[in-house]
Amino acid sequence: MSGSSVPVTAIFDIGKTNKKFLLFDKNYQIVLQEQTTIDQIEDEDGYPSEDLESLINWIESQLSKVLHRNEFQVNDLNFSTFGATLVNVDEKGNVVTPVYDYLKPYPDKLREVFYEKYGGIEKFSLETASPPMGMLNSGLQIYWLKNERPEFFEKISYSLHFPQYLSYRFTGSFDSELTSVGCHTTLWDFNRGEYHRWVREEKVETLLPDIVPLTEKKRVKIRNKHVYTGVGIHDSSAALAPYLIAMDDPFLLLSTGTWSITFNPFNSETLTFKELQRDCLCYMNIYGNQVKASRVFLGNEYRHQKERLTKHFNVTDTEAYEVLDPKLLQRMIDNVSPDKKLKLETAHSSGPFPSDEPGSWNLNHFSSYKEAYHQLMMDLVCIQHECMKLTDKSENFDQAIVTGGFGKNQFFLKLLATRFSDKSIYSADMPYATALGAALVVTDQSQQSSNNLKSLLNLTLHKPVNHTAFSNYSWV
């Protein structure tokens, strides 16, 4: 091997839509990046399902190419994937069921039977920190297979979470790890720190491999090269990892996209049922500790309403970009009209104010696009504020970091900083946080300088708008 080969960590970051392959050097800089999309196939019911064969072919092809390039020396390999997804295999590792999509409908009657058997929705949800979400509760996928697909169930030797299956393909080892097990799966009893009793009583515990440390690596030979291969990690925990490792003081992480999710890794309080009803749940971080989280369909609501605004006021996408006007903001705060407040049309069933029925926001109350956009953002930020409070009732946090879509929206950031005028509100520009987190847990911690990692976060502090009383405004 050439003496000039660059030592790298190889990461496959598998999203539901985009599949990414990245190489990080010793300073965690990306030296190679590839991306693809893979069309879904159908399960036995005609419902969309992950095309596992095509994915594995792509992964093996990308890795093979890199291992044959002399300029890189692949020392470590790891995997991050979207959650709530299981791969069911027999004792030889052959896949014996489709990879069921977490959006697949769950039978109402079966769900009722399950919750009634194990203490009712409230008690069970609190014990497992898992709101009832059907197939999104991956443990319930196993229960569904046992009761609705016995011909498949009897063939299963192991139910592997998606990251661990990808790891298995290279290590040959059947493993579980806590970031996948502890994420709204219904499998883990957060009070007892062990699998919930239903797992034993339904005799599915044997399908779940032994839990190994997230940092465990196995030395395996791939294309005649020795590579230390990790056990894999759940994507939400991976995305949080760089901030946990780099930041010196407690923080909230606000991950925004279609969903807006607030993560508080520093709140160990047990979830209440009221919090569960308001779209709170718990994740497990890379250290095996609880992360209290709240979520709302905020990005989707923003996209939906902005499309309505541009159409209603006949403005182009270029004209639709708005700069926050402090004087207009204060006038709207001083002259609050209930009729003008945002009515949630796509996010109504999520977040801190869930409703069974969508609202209908009447744009005829506004004289201009600018005014309506200000109202939209005021109300979205108020809703976001409530989500953040759900993870930290006393608002003890000193800093919050916004990533994703709203992390690029200066209007949103300035308004959020105004709402939290006594806090430090940052945006972070690190689109590869998930892949970086997967790399950090399998590389030598001695090379992880917190100052170096902090510089990778690309934090920008956002100042509040002076002389406004936005903290007094309420959406509800």
Q: Which helix (H) or strand (E) holds 294?
A: strand 290-296
DSSP 176: B
How far apart are alpha carbons 343 and 333 in whole angstroms? 17
Closest CA to 162 of 75, 220, 235, 215: 235
d(C-alpha 252, C-alpha 426), whole Å: 10
Task: Give the start-to-end residue ranges of the domains of the chain.
Answer: 6-231, 234-476
Q: What is the DSSP letter of 4?
A: T
DSSP tag of 210: P
User: What is the SS3 assignment for 438?
Assistant: helix
Q: What is the mean pLDDT of each run of 10 residues along the chain (476 residues)?
A: 80 94 95 97 97 98 95 97 96 98 96 97 94 94 98 98 98 96 94 95 97 96 95 94 92 93 93 91 91 94 96 87 92 94 96 94 96 97 97 91 94 96 95 94 77 88 92 93
Q: What is the pLDDT of residue 3?
A: 58
3-class state of residue 57 by DSSP: helix
What integer pLDDT is reported at residue 399 of this predicted model?
96
Tell me which residue of 314, 315, 322, 319 sits closest to 377, measured CA to CA. 322
Q: What local confidence, expressed as pLDDT, does residue 407 receive?
A: 95
Name the token pair of 418.
């105004």
Whether 305 and 313 have beta carbons less than 8 Å apart is answered as no
Who's near 307: CB < 8 A, 6+ residues apart? Answer: none
Predicted local confidence at residue 193, as pLDDT: 92
The predicted-structure confidence for 327-338, as pLDDT tens digits, reads as follows: 999 999 999 999
> What CATH number does the domain located at 234-476 have?
3.30.420.40
Query: Is the C-alpha dihedral spanning 201, 204, 206, 209 positive or negative?
Result: negative
Within this chain, domains 6-231 and 234-476 share the same CATH topology: yes
- Label residue 98 exposed, middle or buried (CB < 10 Å: 0-12, 13-18, 19+): buried
Whole-number Cα distances in Å, 11 to 177, 240, 312, 363, 463: 17, 16, 45, 46, 36
pTM for the complete prediction? 0.90
Contact (CB, 8 A) for 380 and 407: no
- Joined together, the tokens standing for residue 381 give 């930020």
Helical H segments across 157-278, by residue range: 162-171, 178-181, 197-201, 235-246, 273-277
Q: Left (φ > 0), alpha (ψ -120 to 50) or beta: where does 278 sit?
A: alpha
Cα separation, 312 vs 143, in Å, equals 48
Q: Tokens 């190419």 label which residue?
A: 65
pLDDT for the residue 447 = 66
Compute how many other C-beta atoms are within 10 angstroms of the C-beta atom of residue 454.
16
Q: What is the pLDDT of residue 2?
A: 46
Q: What is the three-class DSSP state of 203?
A: coil
Architecture of domain 6-231: 2-Layer Sandwich (3.30)
Closest alpha carbon to 198 in 146, 152, 269, 148: 146
